[in-house]
Structure 1
Amino acid sequence: MSSPADVVSKAAPQKKVYPFWLGGVAATIAASITHPLDLTKVRLQATGDKGMIQSIKKTVRTAGYRGLLDGISGTWMRQMSYSVCRFWAYDEAKKFLNAGPQSPAWKLALAGSMAGGIAGVIGNPGEIVMVRMQGDMAKPPEKRLNYKHCFDALFRMVREEGPSSLLRGVGPNVIRAILMNASQLASYDFFKAELLKTKYFDDNIYCHTVASFAAGTVATTVCSPADVLKSRIMSGSGAESKSTMEVIRRSFRNEGAMFMFKGWVPAWMRLQPTTMLIFITFEQLKNLVDWTRTLRKSD
Structure 2
Amino acid sequence: MSTADKLPRWYFGGLASAFAACFTHPLDLIKVQLQTRTGQVALLPLAVELVRKNGVLVGLYSGISASLFRQLTYSTIRFAIYDTAKLFMSKDTGLGSKMGVAFMGGALGGFVGTPPDKVNVRMQNDVKLPPEKRLNYKHVIDGFIQVYRTEGWQKLFGGGATASFRAGVMAVGQLTSYDQLKKMCLSSGFFHDNLFTHFTCSMGAAVIATTITQPLDVLKTRIMNAKPGEFKNVGEIVLYTAKEGPLGFFKGYVPAFLRIGPQTILTFVFYERLRMYFGYIPEPK
Q: Which residue of 1 aligns with 2:41?
A: 50
C-alpha distance in 2, partners of 1:235/1:95? 39
Residue 244, structure 1, aligned to residue 244, structure 2: no
Give the alignment partner of residue 51 of structure 2, picking from 39, 49, 60: 60
Question: How far does residue 260 in structure 1 lie from its aligned partner after superposition?
Answer: 0.8
Match of 2:252 in 1: 263
The answer to whether structure 1 residue 181 and structure 2 residue 171 are counterparts is: yes
Contact 1:229 1:248 survives alignment (8 Å): yes
8 Å CA contact 2:231–2:237 kept in 1: the answer is no
Secondary structure, counterpart of 2:161 in structure 1: helix
2:59 is the alignment partner of 1:70: no
Shift of 1:25: 0.6
Partner of 1:205: 195
| CA apart distance, 1:240 | 4.4
Give the C-alpha shift of residue 15 in structure 1.
6.5
Matches within 5 A, 1:155-174: 155-174=145-164
Displacement of 1:239: 4.2
Q: Tell me what 1:216 maps to.
A: 206
Contact 1:99 1:107 in 2 (8 A): no
Whether the aligned pair in 1 keeps the contact of 2:118 and 2:156 (CA below 8 Å) is yes
Letter in 2 for 1:132: R
Identity %: 38
Residue 134 of structure 1 is matched in structure 2 by 124
Paired amino acid for 1:57: V
Q: Which amino acid aligns with 2:248?
A: F
Higher relative contact order (CA 8 A, sep 6+): 2
Is residue 105–residue 187 contact of structure 1 (8 Å, CA) maintained in 2? no
TM-superposed deviation, 1:233? 0.8
- The Cα shift of 1:198 comes to 1.2
Alignment CA distance shift 1:99-1:114 (3 Å): farther
Q: What CA distance in whole angstroms lies between the structure 2 residues aligned with 1:238 and 1:65? A: 31
- The 1-side partners of 2:194 and 2:23 are apart by 22
- Give yes or no for contact 2:6–2:276 (8 Å, CA) kept in 1: no
- Correspondence for 1:279 among 255, 268, 271: 268
Q: For 1:116-158, what per-residue CA distance to the aligned partner results, in whole angstroms no more than 9, with x for missing partners?
A: 1211111111111111111111223333211011110011111
TM-score (norm 1): 0.87
Contact residue 6 and residue 275 of structure 2 kept, 8 A: no
What SS does structure 2 have at the residue aligned with 1:138?
coil
**What is the aligned partner in structure 2 of residue 83 from structure 1?**
75
Per-residue deviation, 1:105: 2.7
Determine helix, strand or coil for the equivalent of 1:200: coil
Residue number among 144, 158, 167 corresponding to 1:154 in the alignment: 144
1:229 aligns with 219
Amino acid at match of 1:155: I
Deviates more, 1:276-285 or 1:116-125: 116-125
Partner of 1:297: none
SS at structure 2 position matched to 1:139: coil
Structure 2 Cα separation of the partners of residues 272 and 285 of structure 1: 20
Inter-CA distance 249–41: structure 2 relative to 1 (3 Å threshold): same
Q: Rg larger in 1 or in 2?
A: 1
Gapped regions of structure 1 (runs ≥ 5): 1-8, 295-299
1:171-206 Cα shifts (integer Å, max 9, x gaps): 210111011001111000000000001121111111
Counterpart of 1:57 in 2: which secondary structure?
A: helix
SS of residue in 1 equivalent to 2:188: coil
Q: Deviations over 1:240-259 (max 9, x none)?
A: 46521111111212x11211
1 CA distance for matches of 2:253 and 2:94? 29
8 A contact 1:47–1:138 mirrored in 2: no
Q: For this pair of structures, how many residues does the alignment match?
A: 279
Stretches (4+) displaced over 4 A? 239-242
Structure 1 position 277, deviation (Å): 0.3
Could you tell me how far apart the structure 2 residues matched to 1:47 and 1:92 are? 41
Structure 1 window deviating more from structure 2 (237-246 vs 219-228): it is 237-246
Instruction: Provide the TM-score with structure 2 as the length reference.
Output: 0.91
**Amino acid across the alignment from 2:86:** K
